[in-house]
Chains A and B, each alone.
Chain A
Amino acid sequence: MDKQNNIRNFSIIAHIDHGKSTLADRLLEKTGAMTEREMESQVLDNMDLEKERGITIKARAVRLKYRASDGEDYILNLIDTPGHVDFNYEVSRSLAACEGAVLVVDASQGIEAQTLANTYLAIDHDLEIMPVVNKIDLPAAQPELVIEEIENIIGIPAEDAPKISAKNGIGIEDVLEQIVKIVPPPKGDPEAPLKALIFDSVYDAYKGVIIYFRVIDGSVKTGDRIRLMSNGVEFDVVEAGYLNPSGFLNSGVVKTGEVGYLTASIKSVSDTRVGDTVTLATRPAAEPLAGYKQVNPMVYCGIYPADGAKYDDLREALAKLQLNDASLAFEPETSVALGFGFRCGFLGLLHMEIIQERLEREYNLDLVTTAPSVIYKVKKTNGDMLDISNPSNLPDPSEIDYMEEPMVNADIMCPTEFIGNIMDLCLERRGLYKNTTYIDATRAQLHYELPLNEIIYDFFDTLKSRTKGYASFDYELCGYQQSDLIKLDILLNGEMVDALSFIVHSTKAYARGRRIAEKLKENIPRQLFEIPIQAAVGNKIIARETVKALRKDVLAKCYGGDITRKKKLLEKQKEGKKRMRQVGSVEVPQEAFMSVLKIDE
């Protein structure tokens, strides 16, 4: 039997593109977990979307067997972590399931903001950090400099860091040996009542919810009645075992210090939240593990089917996605302009994009989405406090005492030459400068407090374009702040289009209103009458554009040989009309709604 002393639980921390998944593949390969033929490249990234973007969204875990140079056999549990700021909480739970973290740094790029954020997170969890310098095969690789950087910035010894090329399979053995040496074996009391940390759960159509967990104390086996400590819900364990690279191994028991999975005919992942503690109903632990919190959506937007008849399909698709994603929230809403749809809540922008793309790709839905919004707190004159995520629900200004908006602490890392550009950008985005830390002579990290609603549009894209792609960015919610916010409405032919309303800081209203009016003008085709496009704050029009009336839309020639062709042409024109939204008397194409989402001011 495996000894607790020979278990090593670890994660890999890396910035996007620094080679986390490639290294994971090599570890699997080296430990003989799979033959090359079996190995689909980068097994840990399961979803297509993740593969395309080269990022990992949902955590997974895999159990490897390794015979170390000391002659002993070790169980290495690699717990994969999501690589994006939107999934910070999930990252923290994955890290909490480990004793060590392999920190992968690109030998040509050095440390990035995200690497730092996750490394600090790992240090917070008392993990042993084991640095690895990757991509030493690149011509621009400067492994010694990077090692120095790790020591200076993070303050951990790195002179023994394996210098590897995951891509070319160089130095992989070193990494495995160091994991065994550096990462401590799990502590924990085999005799104590069961305490297991859920770090992921996914829904499977056949097995129900599969919980991925790390046993801290005690053990769990098939037939046990388990209890989830946050909500007291109980289930009977059907399967309990490990995750081999090739799939599930139902071994019947998972012991202290081990990482495993269980199924218990659970219908929804909303019962099995990441961070919760699993214990035994018959012999419960006195206290749950620390650190559980329910993550709440930070960014909201309206999602509507382009074809109103697809409403039910959209609801079903959202419900299916939610089975696997407890942090996705949605509820029905109605828009005058867009009809029936859903207000959806996301952890962040990437999460929102991922859900939208999955709806479109996997469920074949054509969507119209509204501008993303954050949750504003509105203090009414009657003393009520409201949470507003849909601008249309904002009370009349006369009933509002004041409004608050969510703020984030943002860390932006960049080469020093771009500091000026970043400061300009953050100033434009109403950022409050806190300080700058210099990493070395050429790189700095800027710390800002920024309103969340300033970064949910196009902050990241703009940041990248103003720093030639060099800047990296990380943020964390830090509370609410009173702010001078107003609602900006868009009127087409005198009628307000609810789906285009949004809440904006008063100093930004004019510029934003003008740009939106311009964008709409570009995207609304000429119609039989002139269409005024107006941006308004209350009763005050702050911008106006006009779509001129259609003057000429006529087929000059239509003789014997043209009839079939012209008929098709008109059919196409009609199809185009059908895809438009009727807003009062104005036909608005889907693209017009989408065009206002990408606005560079």
Chain B
Amino acid sequence: MRGLYVHVPFCLKKCDYCDFVSYPDCYHLEEAYVDALLSEFQQYRGEAVDTVYLGGGTPTSLQTKSLVRILNGAFETFDVAKDAEVTVECNPKTADGEKLSALLETGANRLSIGVQSLDDTVLSAIGRIHTAEDAAECISLAKQAGFINISGDVMFGLPGQSMESLEDTLRKMTKLPLTHISCYGLICEEETPLTKRIASGELTLPDEDTEYNMYRTVVSLLKEAGFHQYEISNFAKPGMESRHNQKYWDCIEYFGCGAAAHSYFEGERYHNTEDLTAYLKNPGEKLDIMDIGLEDAVYEYMMLGLRKTEGASKSWFSERFGMEMKDCFRDVIEKYKKNGLLQENGDFISFTEQGIYVSNTVLCEFM
């Protein structure tokens, strides 16, 4: 079944590394934005979904009544499964107990909290508005409010971040009431304030070898604490994997609503305008509609499927595309199986631990 993603492009302040579409100081448009969202939902009226994901930006920076309107709007318009996973992204310092309780009451059952680090020096270096204490506080508030499924985001390869700092953050994270941890290596996107400060020499990043060691540390430390890796950057307690995000890696379709949201629906990928004013004026407009043909679909299936530790399923491949994975990619699969970057496990082709670290180099050859 398809999923629903709702984008909330509002933040109190943009973090220095962020290149997502989000606008600080636009809360005067909050009500109009919710109106626009609800009207966009209408064009998908009656569509069945079993995951809802409210992402951003900072969804929890909206007023409680706005969040409730959005969630209720989604439930009323879409045919949302009873046992649906409903996630809300949450930033420490933007959600109090009351707001969190209201979310739970309205139907949210999963929180994804942006912790990033539990080292205040690192947090301020990347322009986060909260402290380590705020983050820990937020997680315990979520727990108190009654959330069981709580995920925390962590980043590594950050300027000024040492291996010790990362290990310390991870150890503390595993002791907090979390069921899921996403752990991302920093990507310096063009034109972000962080990238500029690094280019100017004001900040320095850990070198490639350190970053690599950090990633290995993340994987082994979380594994020890009972979080198994199910995707390049995602770790979960058994059964607590993000169902919504898995749709992306399984090439299952999704609706994207809100400014800058991307959709994959009936074989087409398209997205909404990033321009807030334009979106408010015409929330239903689809841009850059791209028909995903067989060739693209096959490649996307490998590019995304191999992100999962489980790997890409041969049987699902043949069922979906009417041809054998091995017929399409025999040479590259054999080549990388031979040098230990890919492995075959029953129905699945997957990256080895070594392979994950250099997966782009291998994925190129599936094109």
Contact = CB atoms under 8 A, between A and B. Distances in A.
B367 A570 contact: yes
A552 B304 CA distance: 18
B261 A561 contact: yes
B254 interface: yes
B248 A552 contact: no
Given A528-B341, A563-B248, A552 B262 contact: no
B232 A552 contact: no
Central interface residue in A556, A557, A566, A573, by most chain B CB within 10 Å: A556
Contacts of A555: 187, 232, 359-360
B53 to A, nearest CB: 9
A309 interface: no
B209 interface: yes
A567 B303 contact: yes
B262 A553 contact: no
Nearest to B5: A560
The interface residues of chain B, by DSSP majority, are classed as mixed
Interface residues of A, number: 24
A68 B304 CA distance: 84
A574 interface: yes
B228 interface: no
B40 to A, nearest CB: 16
Nearest to B215: A552
A570 B366 CA distance: 10
B184 A564 contact: no
A561 B361 contact: no
B111 to A, nearest CB: 17
Nearest to B209: A551
Contact of A564 (B185, B269, B307): B269
Contact of A556 (B232, B288, B358, B364): B232
Which residue of A528, A557, A566, A571 has the most chain B CB atoms within 10 A of its CB atom?
A528
A558 B248 contact: yes
A560 B361 contact: no
Nearest to A569: B360
Interface in A498-527: 526-527
Contacts of B290: 564
Contacts of A566: 303
Contacts of A527: 361
Contacts of B364: 570, 573-574, 577
Interface string B323-367: 000000000000000010100000000000000111111011101
Interface string A541-583: 0000000001111111111110110110011011001000000
A516 B24 CA distance: 51
A526 B360 CA distance: 13
Contact of B358 (A554, A563, A570): A554
Contacts of B184: 556-557
B361 A553 contact: yes
Contact of A561 (B232, B256, B303, B341): B256
Contacts of B233: 556-557
Contacts of B307: 558
Given A563-B300, A563-B304, A553 B248 contact: no
Contacts of B269: 563-564
A555 B233 CA distance: 9
Contacts of A573: 360-361, 364
Contacts of B271: 561, 564
Contacts of A563: 248, 262, 264, 269, 300, 304
B185 A553 contact: no
B361 A528 contact: yes
B211 A552 contact: yes
A567 B300 contact: yes
B187 A574 contact: no
B262 A554 contact: no
A45 to B, nearest CB: 42
Contact of A560 (B262, B300, B357, B360): B262
Contacts of B75: none
Contacts of A564: 262, 269, 271, 288, 290
Nearest to B340: A528
Interface hub of B248, B249, B271 (most chain A Cβ within 10 A): B248
B260 interface: yes
A553 B304 CA distance: 15
Contact of B303 (A550, A553, A570): A570
Contact of A558 (B260, B261, B304): B304
Contact of A553 (B260, B339, B357): B357
B208 A559 contact: no
A552 B359 CA distance: 8
Contacts of A554: 185, 232, 356-360
Interface in A457-511: none
B317 interface: no
A528 B339 contact: yes
B249 to A, nearest CB: 8
Interface in B4-57: 5, 7
B358 A552 contact: yes
A527 B358 CA distance: 9
Most interface-central of B212, B233, B360 (chain A CB within 10 A) = B360
Given A528-B341, A557-B233, A552 B212 contact: yes
B245 interface: yes
Contacts of B363: 570
B325 to A, nearest CB: 18
Contacts of B341: 528
Contacts of B209: 551
Given A556-B187, A560-B262, A573-B361, 17 more contacts: A551-B358, A552-B212, A552-B357, A553-B361, A554-B232, A554-B357, A554-B359, A558-B232, A558-B248, A561-B256, A561-B262, A563-B300, A564-B271, A564-B290, A570-B360, A574-B364, A577-B364
A-B pairs, top 4 by smallest CB distance, nearest first, are A551-B212, A574-B364, A556-B184, A561-B262
28 contacts: A550-B361, A551-B357, A551-B358, A552-B357, A554-B356, A554-B358, A555-B232, A556-B184, A557-B187, A557-B233, A558-B232, A558-B248, A558-B249, A559-B248, A560-B248, A560-B261, A560-B262, A560-B263, A560-B264, A563-B264, A564-B271, A564-B288, A566-B303, A567-B303, A570-B303, A570-B364, A574-B365, A577-B364
Interface of B: 5, 7, 184-187, 208-209, 211-212, 215, 232-233, 245, 248-249, 254, 256, 260-264, 269, 271, 288, 290, 299-300, 303-304, 307, 339, 341, 356-361, 363-365, 367
